[in-house]
């Protein structure tokens, strides 16, 4: 298994030939991509055009694209999974976090810029 799939999940490769399904499967099962593609060709020859194309497109639809960098924590993996499923909800989640940070910074600024803080700082410095 490659470093992207150590934690869990099977991903479409970003640098695959067509949608990265075969390369993603090869990476996940630690096969050479040539053999996965050859298997797809053999199945294509024996089953026909539509079954293989249908399964391939369904796999491409359900497989998330491979992360650009390795996911190093459970939180990163959860965020990537939520982003891969719904970019809008991931963006809303980030916005809520930044709004919370903004509120915390404003509270700290308010505390530091009050007259009481200034007097207390002057009093403690002497």
6, 46: one domain = yes
Q: Give domain status of residue 81, yes or no.
A: no
Number of domains in the chain: 2
pLDDT tens-digit readout, 20-78: 888 888 888 888 989 988 988 888 888 877 888 888 888 888 887 776 666 677 777 77
Q: Is residue 56 part of a domain?
A: yes
C-alpha–C-alpha distance, residues 88 and 123, integer Å? 50
**Neighbouring residues of 37: CB distance < 8 A, sequence distance ≥ 6:** 17, 22
Helix (H, G, I), strand (E, B) or coil at 65: strand
Is residue 77 assigned to a domain? no
Provide the residue range defining the domain that includes 108. Answer: 86-126
Statement to judge: residues 6 and 63 lie in one domain:
yes
Global confidence as pTM = 0.49
The answer on 4 and 64 residing in a single domain is yes
């Amino acid at each position: 298994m490659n470093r992207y799939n150590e934690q869990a999940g099977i991903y479409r490769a970003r640098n695959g030939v067509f949608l990265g399904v075969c390369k993603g499967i090869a990476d996940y099962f630690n096969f050479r991509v040539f053999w996965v593609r050859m298997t797809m060709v053999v199945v294509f020859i024996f089953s026909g055009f539509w079954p293989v194309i249908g399964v391939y497109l369904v796999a491409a639809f359900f497989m998330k694209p491979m992360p650009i960098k390795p996911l190093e924590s459970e939180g990163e993996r959860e965020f990537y999974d939520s982003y891969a499923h719904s970019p809008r909800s991931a963006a809303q989640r980030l916005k809520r976090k930044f709004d919370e940070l903004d509120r915390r910074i404003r509270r700290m600024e308010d505390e530091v810029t009050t007259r009481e803080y200034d007097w207390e700082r002057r009093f403690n410095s002497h």
